[in-house]
Amino acid sequence: MKKAQLVFVPSSGVGHLVSAVQFAKLVLDRNDSFLITMLAMNNPYAGIIATYIESLASIHTQIKFIVIPETIAPPPQTSAVSAHAFSCYINDHKTLVKDAIVNQVIASNSAPVVSVVVDLFCTVFIDVAKELGIPSHVFFTSNAAFLGLMLYLSDREDKGEPKFRPNDHDYIIPYYANPVPYRVLPLLHTDCEYLTFASHGKKFKDAKGIIVNTFSEVESHAVRALLARDDTPEIFNVGPLIDHKGKSLSGSDAIKRDEILKWLDDQPEKSVVFLCFGSGGGFDEAQLKEIAIGLEKSGHRFLWSVRLKPSKGQLLSNEFNNYGDILPEGFLERTKNIGMLCGWTPQVEILAHKAVGAFVSHCGWNSTLEALWYGVPMITWPLYGEQHINAFQLVKELGLAVELTLDFRRDCPTDFVKAEDITKAVKTMMEQGGELREKAKATSEMAQKALVEGGSSYVVVGNLIDQWLENQP
């Protein structure tokens, strides 16, 4: 069969890269007619990106990785890099990405490029594809409801409606079943950020299709609302896309993995609370102490990925072993029989383990899908980005999580979560969470059915592949 090429331009965050690679693998598994190239941009705010890309390239040899030269000066790093600043940094790569497509993809193979698949933050490259006469698709790494929110923002801008404001009533946003309060939308609390997401949402409409890492059954309300629009390209729900194997491990990482899984093997079924907050989730010493107090008072077993927030200008590290220096005096001794502390964790393998009964999570969408796949109910602790509205959706709409915190704490400027709130959330889930556990189990079954032959996502992926192959000249 004649070959066709796909060019992926993912955003340079670990979560975005993971799901982009998983989707590329899924396409190749379904149809070997494709040659896939992944254009990898540097992320100046995440020191692990370059190493991570090397790891991906060594594992997924069927995908060609091209690293875009590091010639673009990043904006100054602040405590949290804004979506606007990051989008501007990506936009500055327009010429470099176009050159890579022309000189390293098109020129190196006679197979036609049938789509440029761009990340949700990389909409500037929709114009690059148009200039080259190539169709483009958006690969949306978050969920259908958040896609709807971005389109909703672009609608408001087109109509000249005002930005969101703290004293507004809760917003009726068609893609959420419940009114959405301002406090769960911190990523839209400045005009600049609001306009950035609205601008991306508007550009989505110029693509030929939007590929979403979700499955229709879990977000039926949002999916119906999206289908009711008549001004958007075709939407393909292809998830859940999960990296079940993770990176290949050797040396100390392999030893740590074995230690963690051996400890879990010794715990009763569904007895362990797992705490992990993603690639960017770290806390200061005061908050880590509060987590420790809350866990100890809950009396439940726990596996905790302890990440100390770095000093300004430093990168978050996976390695931290001096737990006794920052946690309450005597905590390690008192909890040695019920708790385990670690830095890096093999998250998917942990969520898959029968001993895990709850997941305290930042509610990043990749982590959320992993929990849903394995039927692990969640306790919400969002930190940045769209995580707050993900948490709102999980608690208020989907009924798959207990609220620890959903939003910025207006009564506490440091966004500090107290030990008693941690204790309450853990005890609620572990002692009264039977209904949540049953719903998580049912959602897990739906997720797995979506990807097998005849399932909703399986069918959609087939339709998308057909569309791409029909694009061949």
Does the pLDDT at position 153 exceed 60? Answer: yes
Residue reference for tokens 């074995």: 258
For 449, other C-beta atoms within 10 Å of its C-beta total: 15
**Does one domain contain both 216 and 301?**
no
Residue positions counted in the chain: 473
The secondary element (H helix, E strand) that includes residue 57 is: helix 49-59
Instruction: Considering only CA atoms, give the Rg of the chain.
Output: 22
pLDDT of residue 251: 65
Q: Are 183 and 322 in a shared domain?
A: no
CA distance 419 to 413: 17
- Cα 219 to chain centroid, rounded: 16
Q: Convert the pLDDT of each residue in 342-383 to its tens digit.
A: 988 899 999 999 999 999 999 999 999 999 999 999 999 999
Q: Rounded to whole angstroms, what are the CA distances from 458 to 89, 120, 208, 375?
A: 35, 22, 20, 20
pLDDT digits (tens, 9 = 90+) for 37-55: 999 888 776 656 667 777 7
State how far the Cα of 344 lies from the Cα of 320, in Å rounded to an integer: 9
Residues 321, 256, 359, 409: what is their CA dihedral angle, to the nearest 10 degrees?
20
Q: What is the pLDDT of residue 310?
A: 67
> Looking at the structure, do residues 260 and 354 belong to the same domain, yes or no?
yes
Residues 25 and 83 in one domain: yes
Same domain, 265 and 409: yes
At 258, is the secondary structure helix, strand, or coil?
A: helix
| Average confidence (pLDDT) over 128-141 | 97
Local confidence band at 209 (pLDDT 50, 70, 90 cut-offs): very high
Quick one: 215 and 262 in the same domain?
A: no
Q: Are both 218 and 273 inside the same structural domain?
A: no
What is the predicted pLDDT for the residue at 309? 80
Q: Which helix (H) or strand (E) holds 30?
A: helix 14-30
- How far is 161 from 109, CA to CA, in rounded Å? 48
State CA 273 to chain mean position distance. 21
E strand or H helix at 34: strand 34-40
Reported as a pLDDT band with limits 50, 70 and 90, residue 313 is very low
Q: Which residues pair with 49 in a beta bridge?
A: none
Neighbours of 60 (CB within 10 A): 17
CB burial of residue 430 (10 Å; 0-12, 13-18, 19+): buried
pLDDT in tens, 458-468: 999 999 999 99
Q: Are residues 231 and 166 in the same domain?
A: yes
pLDDT attached to residue 384: 87
pLDDT in tens, 14-34: 889 889 999 999 999 999 999
The pLDDT score that the predictor gives to residue 409 is 47
**Residue 77: pLDDT over 70:** no
Cis preceding-peptide flag for 186 (omega within 30 of 0): no
224 with 104, same domain? yes
209 in Cβ contact with 462 (< 8 Å) = no
Rounded mean pLDDT of 60-84?
Answer: 78
Within 140-284, residue ranges assigned H as helices are 144-158, 191-204, 220-227, 251-265
Burial of 202 from C-beta contacts in 10 A (0-12 / 13-18 / 19+)? middle
- Shared domain for 61 and 89, answered yes or no, is yes
Residues 206 and 130: beta-carbon distance below 8 Å: yes
CA distance 259 to 263: 6
CA 48: distance to chain centroid?
17
Tell whether 163 and 279 lie within a shared domain: no
Rounded CA-CA distance 74/42 in Å is 10
CATH of the domain at 22: 3.40.50.2000
* Percent of the chain as helix, strand, coil, to the nearest 5: 45, 15, 40
Choose the weakest-confidence range: 152-161, 209-218, 342-351: 342-351
Shared domain check, 142 and 262: no
- Number of domains within the chain: 2
Q: Which residue range(s) make up the domain with 365? A: 251-446
Torsion of CA 146, 310, 45, 253, to 10 degrees: -90
